[in-house]
Structure 1
Amino acid sequence: MHILIIEDNADIIANLYGYLEPLGYTLDVARHGKAGVLCATTSFHDAIVLDLSLPGMDGVEVCRVLRQEYQLTTPILMLTARDTEQDKVTGFAVGADDYLVKPYSLPELDARLKALVRRARNEHVQAVLTFDELQLDSSLLRVSRAGQVLDLTPTGYKILTALMRAAPKLLTREELAREVWGDEPPDSDALRTHIHSLRRVLDKPFTYPMLLTLPGTGYRLMSSDEAKTVP
């Protein structure tokens, strides 16, 4: 998972790196609030670890700006020494998803981050994803369109799963690559090749395309109602 840490305490940053990196996390760090906002809104992250006591712009304001001004949906876990009920209420009110009080257990932090990401991806509640004519049953690894079973490659299945979770919203190429290959994505030609193969199975046998490419940006799925409005 790719995590953004917005924290100004060097010792805490070192502890997080020392514990999380061996578990396979990729970490970015911003040491003050404005840098955190910039990093969060210009790069993809699976979750954000946000300290409340930051120089310049505190964590509450950072969270408010990300949620209200940028409409960022990335899960946010607040780390703070403030443990009053009102502090927690304020954090949740501006858009935090979870709250961990210092001193905290690193294994608990790891577990909470994983739970937040699972929740954001709907992995723990949706065995069957549905979008328009598409149905994906993750328990059977079965995908169908208009009742016709699609023969997808393993990578094609991962790509379509990510697109269906986001549908009808767009996934950037970077976001899609991370969903499929984690923190070691191949070059962009590999993604284009897999998209081409997926489109051949997903769209070619049917009357309208569902997989759309926005050149230079990313990919998304289109519904039948939207397809009727496309010349």
Structure 2
Amino acid sequence: MNDLRTSPMRDTANDRAPRILVVEDESSLALLLVYNLEAEGFIVEHVDRGDEAELRLAEAPPDLVILDWMLPGVSGLEICRRLRARDDTRDMPIIMLTARGEESERVRGLSVGADDYVVKPFSTPELMARVHALLRRARPERVASRLTAGDIDLDRETRRVKRGGREIHLGPTEFRLLEYFMEKPGRVFTRAQLLDSVWGMSAEIDERTVDVHVGRLRKALIRSREKDPIRTVRGAGYSFDETFGRN
């Protein structure tokens, strides 16, 4: 089955929509899931093998995974177990899909770290409600209208940024970049990860473009002796300083 992905051309409303990875090898069910999740406003990627899912999860962890139990390559149960063993994916919301309805199997799925368990066939509206509930619980910053760190305030609804009360004028890309950094303070992102998450997977641009836009963002944010909120991590990438604004 071909890989199903959203178009890299994203509108403003979807720029920071939560990203969901669907791992399902039944083509008709995968199409149904992708269609309904995109209709809910999510950015969706689909793979149909467990080993392919592991590659995508290592490259750019999504905000939530919908994971089939039985998969070619690596089973969904084993993927879930491995995700829970990694620091960067330990708290990632996971919904397990399976045709197994016995109580013992549900217990097994939850015991390896799945947050929720849905038996096929299932109600699509109910699954969408579970997705929304898990995202709200796990990542409240993704639904917050404002992000604040130190004297920097980012308002998602008005698309405005202020520092110490003064207006910061940012282009659309710099706004998305700052928003992405502020969602995950302290986490180091490679240039490839930033290209994937901020520009889109299929964007045909060089990784040096990230350096240019980080430079523009810094220039807009910093005056005189103000502290730089963005750390350059040599040999790795960039991070929003988690100590920014602390005394």
TM-score normalised per structure 2: 0.69
Residues 1:226 and 1:90: Cα distance change in structure 2 (over 3 Å): farther
Structure 1 runs of 4+ with >6 Å offset: 225-228
Aligned equivalents of 1:186 and 1:213: distance in 2?
24
Q: What is residue 178 of structure 1 aligned with on the other side?
A: 196
**3-state SS of paired residue (2:48):** strand
- Report the equivalent of 1:221: 240
Does the CA contact (< 8 Å) of 2:168 and 2:220 recur in 1? yes
Query: Whole-Å Cα distance in 2 between the matches of residues 19 and 56 of structure 1?
Result: 21
Q: Which amino acid aligns with 1:220?
A: S
Distance, in Å, in 1 between the alignment partners of 2:176 and 2:190 is: 15
Residue correspondences, number: 222
| One-letter amino acid of the structure 2 residue matched with residue 132 of structure 1 | G
Q: Taking structure 1 as reference, are residues 135 and 14 closer, same or farther at Cα in structure 2, changes over 3 Å only?
A: same
Taking the aligned partners of 1:114 and 1:144, their CA distance within structure 2 comes to 30
Unaligned runs of 5+ in 2: 1-5, 7-18
- Structure 1 residue 69 displacement after superposition: 3.8
2:240 aligned with 1:203: no
- Please tell me whether residue 154 in structure 1 is matched to residue 168 in structure 2: no
2:34 maps to 1:20: yes
| Deviation (angstroms), 1:161 | 0.7
Give 1:140's aligned residue: 158
User: How far apart, in 2, do the equivalents of 1:177 and 1:192 lie?
Assistant: 11
SS of equivalent residue, structure 1 residue 219: strand
Structure 1: which 5+ runs fail to align?
A: none
CA distance, structure 2, for counterparts of residue 142 and residue 104 of structure 1: 41
User: In 1, distance between residues paired with 2:65 and 2:100?
Assistant: 18
Aligned equivalent of 1:166: 184
Any idea what SS the aligned residue of 1:122 has? helix
1:68 maps onto 2:82 in alignment: no
TM-score, L = length of structure 1: 0.73
The C-alpha deviation readout for 1:147-188, integer Å capped at 9, x for no partner, is 333222222111111100011222332332333234433412
The answer as to whether partners of 2:69 and 2:96 remain within 8 angstroms in 1 is yes
